Amino acid sequence: MIRRLTGLAATAAVALAIGVGAAQAKDFVLGEQSPLSGNLARVGQGMHEGISVAIDMANKQYAGKHSFKLETIDDETSPAKAVAAVEKLAGMGVVALTGGYGSNIIGPASEAANKAGLVYITSGGVTPELTERGHKTFFRINNTDGYATAMIGLLEEMKAKKVSVVYLNKEATSNLAKSVQRALAGKGVTVGMHEFDGATNDFKPLVNKVKLQDRPDVVAMVGYENDYVGILRAAKVLKPDVKAMVGVWSLATSQMAKEFPDLMENVYGTSMLPYPVEFTAPEAQEFAKTYKTLFGKEPDYLGQFGYVQTKLLIQAILRADAAGTGIADELRKTDEPTLIGRVTFNEKGDNPNFSHRMGQHQKGKVVLVWPADAANGKAVFPGVPW
């Protein structure tokens, strides 16, 4: 399904993509492949909203000089459909691609982009393997290390002695879970590892095993939205004697707070932003204002990521157009203070500066509680949803 937000300027787009006659291009068409339906629809929609904000703000900033348009295809949370989407967008003449969610989907999609010679930038795939392929067209603004640092930092602050890690057996989730395990074990923490697959619907046997066998201080969840909901529902029934339930991406969001208020109270997850948002810097305030105008709600960190990656891509496109260089070459020159902190890209397309924060659901809000210099409130600890 193609969601046509605007028309195409294919001739100028192709010229810029291949670095020929780029100086004449004034209309730039970006492509987006994201999961707007299927299991990852909530996170895909969040990223899409942030991308749309970046396009809107760029059109205001460069009005009369340049225009930016977006062609979006829903990959339906399917790797095969993601590849087809990228190939279709390439055929439409987009200058570069932004979007994607899930490392198992982004992997093949970005392979297709690389074959087409198109830059692919994302914040939805953190597995280390994505930046080990030697692609010169792949870039991301976040990575596993930044998520692991945040989870480990919070668990250290809790002084947890026994932790049960419950994780989905996908590439990105397994990598993060094992990274957390190694770090905690190295600090003398007893860690129980419990793997599950994507077909798991009933988490009660797993949670019961954690409750009776591990008897941990904290349960660390590494999965996606539906996994968290299943684990927390099982835990609310079985009520393990733990001090905290801690997750990572796609958990400490306003959407989860609204849809599952009975499950989220006191639960922790990675979040760059509190909810409601508290912004003071001019760009951040304009981002939040535009977001609310376009979508009628406060932004969360998924939208923030989508905005940042797309803003950096637009800046690189403009530099490439002015200098007659390649977009990938210009992205590698990036050194920018952004809404998620400083962003640079190494030779692999990774952002070595990335570090996440931890938020906690508290009475319908998401409060940042770690690290101390980013916190806008105090953690409720011990604290669980039951």
323-338 tens-digit pLDDT: 999 999 999 999 999 9
Residue 260 DSSP symbol:
-
Q: What is the pLDDT, as a whole number, of residue 61?
A: 96
Report the candidate in 125, 118, 212, 128 with the shortest Cα–Cα distance to residue 164: 212
Q: What does the chain come to in residues? A: 386
The tens digit of pLDDT for each residue in 345-362 reads 999 999 999 989 999 999
Which residues, 6 or more positions from 203, have their beta carbon under 8 angstroms from its beta carbon? 196, 230, 231, 233, 234, 235
How would residue 278 be classed by pLDDT, with cut points 50, 70 and 90?
confident
Q: Which residue has the higher pLDDT, 197 or 23?
A: 197
Domain boundaries, the chain: 2-143+279-344, 145-276+358-374
Q: What is the mean pLDDT of the chain?
A: 92
The tens digit of pLDDT for each residue in 128-163 reads 999 999 999 999 999 999 999 999 999 999 999 999
145-276+358-374 topology per CATH:
Rossmann fold (3.40.50)
What distances in angstroms separate CA 187 from CA 160, 175, 215, 225, one per listed residue? 11, 19, 19, 29
pTM recorded for the entire structure: 0.81
Domain 2-143+279-344 sits in which CATH superfamily?
Response regulator (3.40.50.2300)
Task: Answer yes or no: is pLDDT of 280 > 90.
Answer: no
Per DSSP bridges, beta strands 162-168 and 138-140 are unpaired
d(CA 290, CA 50): 10
Same fold for the pair 2-143+279-344 and 145-276+358-374: yes
